[in-house]
Amino acid sequence: MFKELKTYKLIFLRLIAIVVVIEISIYFFKIGLAFTGVFGLFFVFLLIREMYFYVRNFILLYDKTIASILQNDFTSDFSKQNFNKSYDHLFHLYDNLKNKRNEQVSKDIIYRSILNNIETGIIILQKQENDWDIFLMNDYFSSHFSVPKVSKWKYLKNQLPALCEIIEEDNFQEIKTAVEIRINEQNMQTFVLQASRTEILEKDYFIVLLDSIQNVVEKKEKDAWVNLMKVISHELLNSITPIRSICQNLQDLVEQDTLSAEDLEDVKNSVETMLRRSDHLQKFVEGYRKLAMLPSPKKEKIELHDLIDLTIEIMNPLFKENQIEVVNAIPFKRYINVDAQQIEQVLINLLTNCIYAVKDASEKKISISAEAKENRTFIKITDNGTGIESEIENKIFLPFFTTRTEGAGIGLTLSKNIIEAHGGYITYKRENEKTTFEICLLED
């Protein structure tokens, strides 16, 4: 503020100097000193000329700086003007806007780089009056659908009519559905379409995400195979490594001319260890075979309450042994179309898990309840045990994953496969210090 006042003061002083010199020149003319008066007027001309160029340069510099800001052009360098302190605030404003603009450009480059490296088709539309412009199209969308990076909605519609028609039918509102799109005259591919609309700084945007179901499935299959191979290799090495070490030890013993009583005891212990590891490996392979060769369910109508009672009766000796209270809290009769033996196996697996979960509880309780909604039946098995640690929640359904030393790690995986073969699903949750496994079965 003080620097602007200083500039105005300099201009004002120049004007006063010009007026004073003019008055003096007129005075000289009045007293007959014409030559001195002419010299004074010439000096006035020089002062006016100097003030003109001063004001002109001042205005031009302001005009150039403001024009650069308005045109978003920050290529100018005003560092050479720093000798004039009158422009400090102007240059400070320019430098601040330049830094913010460079920071925004850097963020835009990073965001676009992130979006271009995501294996999901992304388009962002921006509303312009009654039409839509394409604000952003990531590289994956452009390359996967063989679409050039066009700027107008109508051009995209010519390239992908199936997608654009679905969006237009919903009037550019929130969408979550599956859509089939033909790419490069190949077979139809199914994509998950998710779209949302948002307003930012009074500008209307429409964001479209497209995920290939095939890619999602392949990724999940790959992850599942990687996890399975880790478990299999771990189990095989756990058995093969000690067996090989024992065999090496036995080979050294039998190469001796005579065997002492201590050597014979070592042989006996080694053989017993090999048998134990072999039994463990055999159980592991049998468990894998159960998972890989699960027969298709042979469904029949069976009453749910009776099926639960029968399962509890089978498990009753274990419940009594561990002093566990089990309640069949299903208040209604409902027939379900299932393979009774397979569902019974699922219930036994889950109840067995509950037995181990409540082992350290002061009051050991297991409750079995059910709920019918529309064409779905939900069976809930709840216990008041310690529950499953949050770090391993996403692993409990993996093949051969177990936290029990004597467990095979196939109970929950087998249960999940059986329920999925029936067209349902199984989930786990922990609420109010209680653990619940929920089975959802669909009616045929």
**Are 248 and 261 in the same domain?**
yes
Helix/strand/coil for 258: coil
Total domains, the chain: 4
**Are 203 and 235 in the same domain?**
no
Question: Where does a domain end: 161, 188, 212?
Answer: 212
**Are 151 and 57 in the same domain?**
no
Q: Report the alpha-carbon distance of residue 286 to residue 280 in Å, rounded.
A: 10
* Per-residue pLDDT in tens (0 to 9) along the chain, 444 residues: 444 455 667 777 778 877 887 878 787 777 777 777 788 778 878 888 877 777 777 777 777 777 777 777 766 666 555 545 556 666 677 777 777 877 877 878 888 888 888 888 889 999 888 888 988 898 888 888 888 888 888 888 888 888 888 888 888 888 888 777 776 655 667 788 888 888 887 889 999 988 877 666 666 666 666 766 766 666 666 667 667 777 777 777 777 767 677 767 777 777 777 777 677 666 666 655 665 566 778 889 989 888 888 888 888 888 888 888 888 888 888 888 888 888 888 888 888 888 888 887 778 888 889 888 878 889 998 888 777 666 666 666 666 556 555 555 667 778 888 888 888 888 888 877 788 889 898 876
**Are 405 and 323 in the same domain?**
yes
Question: Where does a domain end: 243, 267, 292?
Answer: 292
**Are 304 and 362 in the same domain?**
yes
Sign of CA dihedral 337, 341, 342, 344: positive
**Are 338 and 383 in the same domain?**
yes
**Are 94 and 181 in the same domain?**
no
Alpha helices of 255-293 — where are they, by DSSP H? Answer: 261-292
Asked if residue 228 belongs to a domain, the reply is: yes
**Are 126 and 172 in the same domain?**
yes
Question: Where does a domain end: 44, 70, 100?
Answer: 100
Asked if residue 112 belongs to a domain, the reply is: no
160: domain CATH number? 3.30.450.20
**Are 198 and 227 in the same domain?**
no
pTM above 0.95?
no
**Are 364 and 394 in the same domain?**
yes
Asked if residue 111 belongs to a domain, the reply is: no
Burial (CB < 10 A; 0-12, 13-18, 19+), residue 232, is middle
Asked if residue 110 belongs to a domain, the reply is: no
308: domain CATH number? 3.30.565.10
**Are 307 and 433 in the same domain?**
yes
Asked if residue 105 belongs to a domain, the reply is: no
Q: Report the alpha-carbon distance of residue 89 to residue 414 in Å, rounded.
A: 74
**Are 226 and 316 in the same domain?**
no
Residue 203 lies in domain: 118-212
Beta partners for 205?
A: 126, 198
